[in-house]
Amino acid sequence: MTLCTKKIIKIITYKDKVIRGLSSSVSLFAYPILMAADILLYRADRVPVGKDQIQHLEITRDLANKCNAAYVLGYDASDPEGTKDGNAPGILTLPSPFFMKDESLVPGTDGAKMSKSYNNVIEIFADEAIITKKIMSIKTDSSSVIEPKDMRVSPIFALLQLLATPSEMADIEESFRIGGYVENVLNQWVERARQYTFSTMVSVHSMAST
């Protein structure tokens, strides 16, 4: 089977990687074909994909249709399962996308899509120290610490949504909206510090007066 190179060049994920400076190697160029082979080999009829993988699935369907049309007598691309009289079912199944309720992309440490190619992955089975270092390197809002934060553009918030319970997320959302968390903590400790210093000064004054 053949596939027009123009179709691969137009794939958003391919163009994005090239724009980000990755070499247009054979492995990068052929990745959609390898993905199609993995799907078609098992005759999967539904494939869980993200928004950025839709074009890959379209290529998979295109290859399956071409193969079926070339080798199956009576195959009709408009009836791939051969349900109509005179039509034969294809050898390869044409997969359909399966979307989760939340179709948002998982952000990496730089806010872009998490990908090994971009070197922005947080590996969940890595050592705790490595995970902590990765998390601490995540891009955050550059606004003042006392200002409320926009949850819609926060990669930290997006990652928390994947892991936290609804009640935990409600508390986190509230703290994001209110803002001033650091200032409040500082104010609380200022008051405690005053109590400690006052006690110390009283002791020093008492000692110096004797």
> What CATH number does residue 160 fall under?
1.10.240.10
65 and 132 both lie in a single domain? no
Q: What angle do CA 95, 100, 105 make, to 5 degrees?
A: 100
Residue 24 CA from chain centroid, whole number: 23
Query: What ranges make up the beta strands (E) of the chain?
Result: 46-48, 96-98
- Among 7, 10, 113, 133, the active-site one is 113
pLDDT at 90 (0 to 100): 92
Q: What is the Cα–Cα distance from 61 to 93, expressed in whole angstroms?
A: 8
Phi, psi of 58 (to 5 degrees): -65, -40
Report whether 112 contacts 130 (CB < 8 A).
no
68 and 139 both lie in a single domain? no
Residue 84 forms part of a structural domain: yes
- Token look-up 């510090």 returns 193
User: What tens digit of pLDDT does each residue of 38-88 get?
Assistant: 999 999 999 988 777 888 899 999 999 999 999 999 999 999 899 898 899
Residue 184 forms part of a structural domain: no
Residue 170 forms part of a structural domain: yes
Which of 100, 118, 101 lies closest to 155 in space, CA to CA? 118
**Residue 210 pLDDT exceeds 70:** no
Annotated catalytic residue 134: no
**Residue 2 pLDDT exceeds 80:** no
79 and 22 both lie in a single domain? yes
Over residues 18-32, mean pLDDT? 75
pLDDT at 101 (0 to 100): 61
15 and 74 both lie in a single domain? yes
Share of residues in the chain with pLDDT > 70 (%): 91
Q: Dihedral sign, CA of 107, 112, 113, 119?
A: negative
Q: What is the Cα–Cα distance from 31 to 60, expressed in whole angstroms?
A: 11
Domain termination site, one of 98, 128, 156: 98
Share of residues in the chain with pLDDT > 90 (%): 23
CATH code at 17?
3.40.50.620
14 and 70 both lie in a single domain? yes
Residue 192 forms part of a structural domain: no
Question: Which position has the higher pLDDT, 3 or 56?
Answer: 56
The DSSP secondary-structure symbol of 105 reads P
Annotated catalytic residue 51: no
Residue 163 forms part of a structural domain: yes
Domain that holds residue 21: 5-98
pLDDT at 74 (0 to 100): 93
- Among 6, 84, 101, 116, the active-site one is 116
Average pLDDT, the chain: 82
Annotated catalytic residue 15: no
Work out how many domains the chain is built from and give that number.
2
Over residues 127-150, mean pLDDT? 81
User: What tens digit of pLDDT does each residue of 143-195 get?
Assistant: 776 676 677 778 888 888 888 898 998 888 887 777 677 778 888 888 888 88
- Among 17, 51, 101, 133, the active-site one is 17
